[in-house]
Structure 1
Amino acid sequence: MQRSAILRVFHGLVISTALLAAASALGQTPALKLGDEGPAVETLQRLLNARLKPSPGLEVDGDFGNGTQSALQRFQKEKGLPETGRADPGTWSALGTLGPAEGADPPVPAPEVVNAEKAAKKPADPLDGPPFTTAKAWAVADGRTGRLILGHEAETPLEMASTTKMMTALLVARLAADDPKALGEAIVFSRRADRTPGSTSGVREGESVKAGELLYGLLLPSGNDAATAFAEHFGGRFAPPEGSPGEADPLARFVAEMNRAAKSLGLGRTHFANPHGLPAKGHHASAADLAVLAAAVVADPTLAGVVSTPRRGAALEGPDSKSRNVVWTNTNRLLDTEGYDGVKTGTTNGAGNCLVASGHRGERRRIVVILGAPSSDGRYADARNLFRWAWKQP
């Protein structure tokens, strides 16, 4: 087949896996990204459904949406490829082509068969019990002890995104409990901290800020850079990871202490690979574990004050002795409603939309954990519905 003919087919109405293989040999596999559409996207969706186990169950509709992107990143992660979420030549090569029995659309039945079908219905929705939710997993827990009251997939380890930072903050608070001067120490941002990707506190390399102030930069705008800076500053005070007695990197020592603290709290389905929550192998927690961790956070008077703060202004000191002001805004949208006072949001493509929320009514306190909601609005709706159910319980 001529090269030009292959290109015409790519832009036509139909793309077959045979053509895809031929195009791949000529280096003409289509580069696809979020928002693209067309027959090539349909082929990508069929391949992802066939290659991933369990199958993501993508609808083969030719629309490269968030679901297709998440499935593609999962495939890239499994194959050790850069997790770009884009279908590049290396990804197409790893996907291969569909066999004769793979990805085929089922035969279309005759109209009289379809029109004679009687649709079966499930029983009517119950009027009692907790509300229906959109999240992969959730937990409702006692806000003072973290004891699980009710949950769905609450013991399943899942990606947790920036809810990780609750443990980062808790380690700093524990250091301050032993030495109150720790919160007054100036933390100078390194190049590694400044260049940590994702959500940021906006502190630049060479600038410094007191540790007590940086807790707001960590927990309000969810600064990944702040998490790295804390780990670098305080990590040297902790023991090295087990099996690496010579580890000198303070960040690695800090993460090792995060895991020791998780063990001490009884978080049996939690493991940390970094201090901020960016995707990493072996970085996960269960909703029930995060409820226990959140209870420890709100029990600490310093951290309770931080996570309930909507906005915080701070002054940064530059290497040239010039001061610069920043404002940190809390990402937790529940804080504009009376009765909610924390704790932490988290969002990545793999983890979905996560939320650890703390609420009180009189002397009663509850914690709700949402993991893997499909949208930001969904996590807040799930949380508020679960709180409403929780307040009605004796």
Structure 2
Amino acid sequence: MKSAFTLFWFFLCAFPALVLGAQPPIPGPPELPVKGYVLIDFNSGKTLAEMNADERLEPASLTKIMTAYTVFRELAGGKIQLTDQVLISEKSWRTGGSKMFVEVGKQVSVEDLLKGMIIQSGNDAAVALAEHVAGSVESFADLMNAHAKRLGMTASHFTNPNGLPDPDLYTTARDMARVTLALIAEFPQYYAWYKSLDFTYNKITQPNRNPLLKRDPTADGVKTGYTKAAGYCLIGSAKRDDMRLVSVVMGSASPNARAEASLALLNYGFRFYESHVLYPVGQPIETLRAWGGNLEKLPVGPGSTVAAIIPRGTYDQLSAHIEKTSDFRAPIASGAQVGDVVVMQGDDEIMRVPLVALEELAQGNLWQQARDSVLQLF
């Protein structure tokens, strides 16, 4: 028979978990039969699970994510238009692999070529877009690599727009996640095409090759890829409530294996984590006393979006505060860092984002400067 002390000690140890609802630890991510994978929260950019995420691998048609991103940047810069008519070259027409079935000598709009590449995975469409944007596949590859460098894709190199095998064409699961996150964030109007179930061109209707669109109603992208050397690859994305996850699976043994692996990662992330945007970039979160300037109160806010990915059920443990670098004395440029936004989970600091001035604090007139000098003495 247990002593009263033993029972008391058991109750004392169990009390925090029973009464305070202590969360069990998050289990390890699923073990998947692939060459490499990564799972990332869109809001915060945090990695939730990974395996060989930085190993150099062949991307196959995942390359077309970078191709689309490069074309979208050209559209955003006004250098090309969706309505541009692209003359189909023999090089584009002869490109092997998956096809949109463009015809040599015909003119096709940039919008149709993008949809043919995104939805039908047309290698011919990718070449036509590359030639229209940069004049040649080689010059377009230079653009791709410039964008990859800017995005921090340090382990990637692109030599063509469609992912057909080339010894100098390589990437990593993490790098492919980077460009996918950028594409979704910068071009939501075009990203909507990735959830289209089919596309018809030249009286030929072809289905979207992404199996997640039919297996998960919350999935809305992104891209499949396959070559014999690369294996079966899939970038998936799904949004449930306000939480979006991006998964990259590379080197699966079959189409079904890559779909199952992608679903396993997405379900793992949604099951055990929750994502919250605490403060959007540029949102005023406080106005602070400014000295010697043309303003008495200076609005400040985060220099980048403050988003937290936390174990599910622990939102009430979050708190945030600001830490100023010094008193606010003019002049201060708009966008200048004046401190940090610090996010805590319980007693642990989990994030620190620059706090910036949201307006310019110009030098005040002589009266304002003199007044503030006197006020600061008190």
Contact in 1 for aligned 2:30/2:264 (Cα 8 Å): yes
Pairwise CA distance, 1:179: 1.4
Range with greater deviation from structure 2 (176-185 or 374-383): 176-185
The answer as to 2:143 corresponding to 1:257 is yes
- Decide whether the 8 Å contact of 1:216 with 1:328 is kept in 2: no
Taking structure 1 as reference, are residues 197 and 287 closer, same or farther at Cα in structure 2, changes over 3 Å only? Answer: same
The alignment status of 1:311 with 2:198, answered yes or no, reads: yes
- What does residue 272 of structure 1 align with? 158
Unaligned runs of 5+ in 1: 1-125, 237-249, 315-323
Match of 2:236 in 1: 357
Correspondent of 2:73 among 174, 183, 196: 174
Residue pairs, 1:185-200, within 5 angstroms: 185-200=84-99
Q: Does 2:254 correspond to 1:375? A: yes
So what's the TM-score if we normalise by structure 1? 0.60
Partner of residue 334, structure 1: 212
Compute the displacement of 1:143 (Å): 2.2
Is 1:130 the counterpart of 2:8? The answer is no
SS of residue in 1 equivalent to 2:266:
helix
**Offset, 1:232:** 0.9
TM-score, normalised with respect to structure 2: 0.63
C-alpha distance in structure 1 between counterparts of 2:91 and 2:101, whole Å: 14
**1:206 Cα deviation (Å)?**
1.6
In the alignment, what sits opposite 1:221?
A: 120
Question: 2:48 aligned with 1:162, yes or no?
Answer: no
1:71 alignment counterpart = none
Distance change >3 Å, CA 235–CA 127, structure 1 → 2: closer
For 1:295 and 1:277, locate their aligned partners in 2 and report how far apart those are by CA, in whole Å: 19
1:342 partner SS: strand
Counterparts of 1:368 and 1:266, CA distance in 2: 18
Please state how far the C-alpha of 1:273 moved relative to its aligned partner: 1.2
> Contact 1:144–1:295 at 8 Å: present in 2 too?
no
Aligned equivalents of 1:220 and 1:282: distance in 2?
A: 26
Shift of 1:377: 0.5
Structure of greater Rg: 2
Please tell me the residue identity of whatever aligns with 2:233.
C
Deviation (angstroms), 1:166: 0.5
**Residue identity opposite 1:390 in structure 2:** G
Structure 1 residue ranges, 4+ long, deviating more than 6 angstroms after superposition: none
Do 2:39 and 2:247's aligned partners in 1 also have CA atoms closer than 8 Å?
yes
For 1:190 and 1:313, locate their aligned partners in 2 and report how far apart those are by CA, in whole Å: 21
Alignment RMSD (CA, Å)? 1.7
Residue 130 of structure 1 deviates from its aligned partner by 1.1
Contact 2:74/2:80 (CA < 8 Å) preserved in 1?
A: no
Gapped regions of structure 2 (runs ≥ 5)? 1-24, 274-310, 312-378
